[in-house]
């Protein structure tokens, strides 16, 4: 993976700084280079919230860091909720008022954290409440990392995988998403394996190509939801720009390690994409792709005009695809009662 730092990482909070950028900062102050690693460890290993607690750094350096960068953590937790099934949701707000949510999902043991890449989303998928609440702004790498570190604390470190499936389209903010991934994988930081990171997209083809080039090993998920252009374009406007043929050609060329598969997400919408002909189209689309498929019961939101397929229908759909050799899982919907389930996240959290 390229180690090129994101230029915009500087000035958006110290958590987004690379080790190289911290070394440059130390050099500019005639400090020894080992200080850069020490500072980096405060961020990503000790998970400190402010420089005052960095007791292994000289007092003058702590003050200089505080003056140069401000606090290490720069987001305010505006709401914290826990669902009956143990799913936890944090609503966070930046100093400019941008707000976004992150969700921690218990997965029979360790949690998986669903990260937001944007505050709001401009992609306009018609089944998604996040999209319906409008466009916000891109999150910085620092804000993405802070989401994760606050999530880590909330589940006391019992967290395994990170998925960019929260608010926003990660490929529309790929500089910052990749910068965050590089920091998470840095051996001096969290040293995470790329296989614990998944970036999900609604089908932004240039972003998929770039992810494949610059972050091999990081997993890719595609929100598919229909396998004919007419239905998919109605559900997901991105399909008018990159249709299924273009998407499939791109996915066929996507680099996968021998044990890896592409993940497809398919939200089950009653009478829209759950018919026999939809299953047939899906089989045709998936043919030749090394993949697994997640069927997701639609999480109904009063503001949106869709109903979930009944569970019997979802099981029928699963059996049909399974009988043709596709690995299919029905993904249990978690956190519905606190609006933390797939497609339910929002900029201003309902209280
Ligand atoms: Fe945006 Fe994803 Fe919602 Fe589509 S499904 S509007 S890409 S957040």
Question: Are residues 50 and 86 located together in one domain of the fold?
Answer: no
CB neighbours of 57 closer than 8 A, spacing ≥ 6? Answer: 35, 38, 39, 42, 51, 65
Q: For 161, what's the count of Cα atoms within 13 Å in the CB-facing half-sphere?
A: 16
Task: List pLDDT tens digits, range 276-303.
Answer: 999 999 999 999 999 999 999 998 888 8
Task: List pLDDT tens digits, range 62-113.
Answer: 999 999 999 999 999 999 999 999 999 999 999 999 999 999 999 888 999 9
Rounded distance from Cα 48 to ligand 1 centre (Å): 32
Buried b (16+ CB within 10 A) or exposed e, 58-71: eeebbebbbeebee
Nearest CA to ligand 1 atom 7: 169
Last residue of a domain, one of 5, 40, 69: 69
CATH number, domain with residue 197 = 3.20.20.70
Question: Are residues 62 and 85 located together in one domain of the fold?
Answer: no
Exactly one of 23, 101, 146, 265 is catalytic; name it.
101
- To test the pocket of ligand 1, the residue of 100, 121, 224 to mutate (highest count of ligand atoms within 8 Å of its CB) is 121
Rounded distance from Cα 131 to ligand 1 centre (Å): 5
Weakly modelled stretches of the chain, pLDDT under 70: 1-12, 341, 348-351
Which atom of ligand 1 sits closest to the CA of residue 132?
6
Q: Alpha helices of the chain — where are they, by DSSP H?
A: 19-28, 34-44, 59-69, 129-132, 141-154, 174-185, 205-214, 229-235, 238-241, 244-252, 276-286, 311-322
Question: Are residues 155 and 242 located together in one domain of the fold?
Answer: yes
- Looking at residue 348, its pLDDT comes to 60
Asked whether residue 351 is domain-assigned, the answer is no
Rounded distance from Cα 123 to ligand 1 centre (Å): 6
Q: For the chain, how many structural domains are there in total?
A: 2
Asked whether residue 82 is domain-assigned, the answer is yes
Instruction: Decide whether any atom of ligand 1 lies within 6 Å of the 130 Cβ.
Output: yes
Alpha-carbon gap, residue 185 to 198, rounded angstroms: 13
Q: Based on the residue annotation, tell me whether 125 is a catalytic residue of this protein.
A: no
CB neighbours of 196 closer than 8 A, spacing ≥ 6? Answer: 160, 161, 162
Give me the torsion for CA of 135, 234, 225, 86, rounded to 10°.
Answer: 40
- Looking at residue 334, its pLDDT comes to 78
Q: For 273, what's the count of Cα atoms within 13 Å in the CB-facing half-sphere?
A: 30
Q: Based on the residue annotation, tell me whether 82 is a catalytic residue of this protein.
A: no
- Looking at residue 94, its pLDDT comes to 94
Nearest CA to ligand 1 atom 8: 168
Last residue of a domain, one of 69, 84, 102: 69
Which atom of ligand 1 sits closest to the CA of residue 118?
8
Rounded distance from Cα 129 to ligand 1 centre (Å): 8
Alpha-carbon gap, residue 296 to 205, rounded angstroms: 23
Question: Are residues 321 and 214 located together in one domain of the fold?
Answer: yes
Alpha-carbon gap, residue 216 to 284, rounded angstroms: 27
Question: Are residues 212 and 104 located together in one domain of the fold?
Answer: yes
Asked whether residue 344 is domain-assigned, the answer is no
Question: Are residues 42 and 98 located together in one domain of the fold?
Answer: no
Asked whether residue 8 is domain-assigned, the answer is no
DSSP 16: G
CATH number, domain with residue 30 = 1.10.150.530
Instruction: Decide whether any atom of ligand 1 lies within 6 Å of the 169 Cβ.
Output: yes
Instruction: Decide whether any atom of ligand 1 lies within 6 Å of the 200 Cβ.
Output: no
Instruction: Decide whether any atom of ligand 1 lies within 6 Å of the 90 Cβ.
Output: no
- Looking at residue 115, its pLDDT comes to 97
CB neighbours of 248 closer than 8 A, spacing ≥ 6? Answer: 285, 289
Asked whether residue 142 is domain-assigned, the answer is yes
Domain that holds residue 43: 14-69
Question: Are residues 95 and 55 located together in one domain of the fold?
Answer: no
Nearest CA to ligand 1 atom 4: 125
Question: Are residues 52 and 106 located together in one domain of the fold?
Answer: no
């Amino acid at each position: 993976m390229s180690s090129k730092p994101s230029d915009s990482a500087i000035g958006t909070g110290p958590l987004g700084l690379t080790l190289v950028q911290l070394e440059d900062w130390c050099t500019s102050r005639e400090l020894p280079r080992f200080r850069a690693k020490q500072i980096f460890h405060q961020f990503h290993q000790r998970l400190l919230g402010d420089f005052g607690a960095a007791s292994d750094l000289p007092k003058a350096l702590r003050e200089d860091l505080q003056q140069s960068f401000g606090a290490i953590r720069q987001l305010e937790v505006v709401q914290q909720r826990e669902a009956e099934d143990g799913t936890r949701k944090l609503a966070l707000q930046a100093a400019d008022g941008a707000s976004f949510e992150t969700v921690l999902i218990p997965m029979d043991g360790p949690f998986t954290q669903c990260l937001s890449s944007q505050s709001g989303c401009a992609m306009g998928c018609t089944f998604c409440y996040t999209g319906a609440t409008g466009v916000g702004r891109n999150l910085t790498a620092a804000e993405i990392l802070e989401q994760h570190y606050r999530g880590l604390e909330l589940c006391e470190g019992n967290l395994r995988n990170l998925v960019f499936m929260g608010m926003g389209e990660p490929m529309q903010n790929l500089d910052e998403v990749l910068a965050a991934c590089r920091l998470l994988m840095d051996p001096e930081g969290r040293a995470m394996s790329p296989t614990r990171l998944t970036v999900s997209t609604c089908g932004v083809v240039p972003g998929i190509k770039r992810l494949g080039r610059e972050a091999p090993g990081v997993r890719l998920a595609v929100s598919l939801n229909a396998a004919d252009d007419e239905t998919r374009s109605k559900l997901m406007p991105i399909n008018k720009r990159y249709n299924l043929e273009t998407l499939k050609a791109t996915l066929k060329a996507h680099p996968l390690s021998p044990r890896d598969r592409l993940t497809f997400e398919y939200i089950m919408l009653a009478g829209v994409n759950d018919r026999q002909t939809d299953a047939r189209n899906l089989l045709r689309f998936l043919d030749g792709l090394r993949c697994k498929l997640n069927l997701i019961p639609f999480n109904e939101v009063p503001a949106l005009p869709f109903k979930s397929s009944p569970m019997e229908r979802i099981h029928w759909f699963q059996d049909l695809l399974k009988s043709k050799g596709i690995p299919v899982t029905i993904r249990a919907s978690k956190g519905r009662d606190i609006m933390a389930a797939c497609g339910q996240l929002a900029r201003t959290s309902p209280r």
